[in-house]
Amino acid sequence: MENKGCCSGEDLKAEKPIKNNSDKPKGSKIFGNMDAYELFVDDAGKGVGCCCGGEHPDESTVDNPDEVKVHAGADFIRKFENYAHSIGVTGAGYTQISSELILEDKPIIYPNTIVLIMEMGEEILKTPKGPEAQKLNDQAYQKLGNMTHKLSDYLRENGFATQVAHPYGRWVNFSALGQKAGMGFIGKNGLLITPQLGPGQKISAIFTSIENLPAKEHREFSWIAEYCEKCGKCIKACPEKALIEKETCCGGKEVEFIQKLCRGCSEGCTDCMEACPFNRKGYEHVKSRFDKMNAKLMEKRKKR
């Protein structure tokens, strides 16, 4: 079934959609380049967001407004965020989507993007991979999908046009969107790592007519890539060898993700997530260890 999104209506057809990236590299997803929001593509060169995903119907209950508003006051953004938290969303970030983050041939009407994260929940991590873990994983996607549609309806009721990217959809690169919105950074396991939830979240997005979203595209979390360089626990933990570390031509390292070997969505595998220090110890603990290690290194260098 086609994922119609929320903006397939006539109201928005005068707007010029963003063109999708039509020049995607072939091969598997490569992680480890902190300046690139690289794409994850299958053997046919078709982009996918992660190993999960599929079409999802539009579950909006409110139509896009006839008169579309494009500016939201700080008060409204605060109210929106309070409402998001009240229904179970952990955090919201704001950015503009760019063409390299659009993975499928589907027009995005507005580049203004609200990124939403929701805790995956301990139960999934504790449940051994298999049908039960997969069911819990699917339920988490559905839960955030429901919240995303509720928030989209809320925006529409207040005069803003929206288009929903359901977390189960595979037409945008959600982890990269979260990174671009300054919510965290992509780790070697290819997952967005955030201060609130480490690698344990589901991500969705709402594209909206709001042109003055409070975007904060800072790089506060780019140190995570440096930490990952020395860690690599997710690679060792993967029982399927779906994460392969390779040397680059310039002497660096990058991780190749072999989608067809991953059991994340088919069996609810979370081994790479469980092994991650950001999950085991928490963001603050890892950051403080990283800072101490760096301080010691600086000290040594000064003495030389």
Under the rule (CB under 6 A), what is the footprint of ligand SF4? 187-189, 227-228, 231-234, 237-238, 240, 242-243, 262-264, 269, 271-272, 275-278
d(CA 129, CA 151) in angstroms, rounded, equals 32
Dihedral sign computed on CA atoms, order 29, 51, 86, 274: negative
Least distance to ligand SF4, CB of residue 285, Å: 12
Provide the phi-psi class of 154: left if phi over 0, else alpha when psi is between -120 and 50, else beta.
Answer: alpha
Structure tokens, 164: 């929903």
Least distance to ligand SF4, CB of residue 127, Å: 13
Of the pair 72, 231, the CB lying nearest ligand SF4 is at: 231
| H helix or E strand, kind and range, residue 295 | helix 283-303
Of the pair 12, 286, the CB lying nearest ligand SF4 is at: 286
Least distance to ligand SF4, CB of residue 242, Å: 4
Of the pair 154, 174, the CB lying nearest ligand SF4 is at: 174
> 3-class DSSP state for residue 265?
helix
Least distance to ligand SF4, CB of residue 181, Å: 19
Least distance to ligand SF4, CB of residue 175, Å: 11
**Closest-CB residue for ligand SF4?**
187
Structure tokens, 123: 């139960």
d(CA 111, CA 95) in angstroms, rounded, equals 8
Of the pair 144, 228, the CB lying nearest ligand SF4 is at: 228
Of the pair 28, 64, the CB lying nearest ligand SF4 is at: 28
Contact 264, 51 (CB under 8 A): yes
Beta strand residue intervals within 196-236, DSSP E: 201-208
